[in-house]
Amino acid sequence: MARGNNANRMRANNPHQHHINIQKKQAQCDVQSVHNINEAIERHWESMPDQAKTFLLGTLDFLSLHKLARFWSNSAVVEYTRGGIAGSVCGASWFIALNYLKLGK
């Protein structure tokens, strides 16, 4: 009695078809993964003040610690630097930065 199934026999007869199918599945996963990462980034931006996104993305070329301290000391956003909220903002910032790197941005 022969072991295996038709799919294995087909792959053995045409290994290139199997490789093409894997590439198609990988491409679909990559697109879905990028979409999911972008959605997650947007959810994390929502946990931060609106000004943070504008400030942080607008100072990517050169962000000094002085500018960063002045931004978070501003009366409009200083509430995000206190208590448990500060930890959430810090975590969200880290998550956003890490995933932008993953996306090559």
**pLDDT tens-digit series, residues 42-63:** 999 998 998 999 998 888 777 7
- Separation of alpha carbons 29 and 78, rounded Å: 40
**Whether pLDDT at 38 is above 60:** yes
Q: Quote the distance between the C-alpha of residue 58 and its chain's center.
A: 19
Quick one: average pLDDT of 21-37? 67
Other CB atoms within a 10 A radius of the CB of residue 96 amount to 22
Q: Mark 2-32 as b/e (b = at least 16 C-beta within 10 Å).
A: eeeeeeeeeeeeeeeeeeeeeeeeeeeeeee
- Separation of alpha carbons 35 and 83, rounded Å: 32
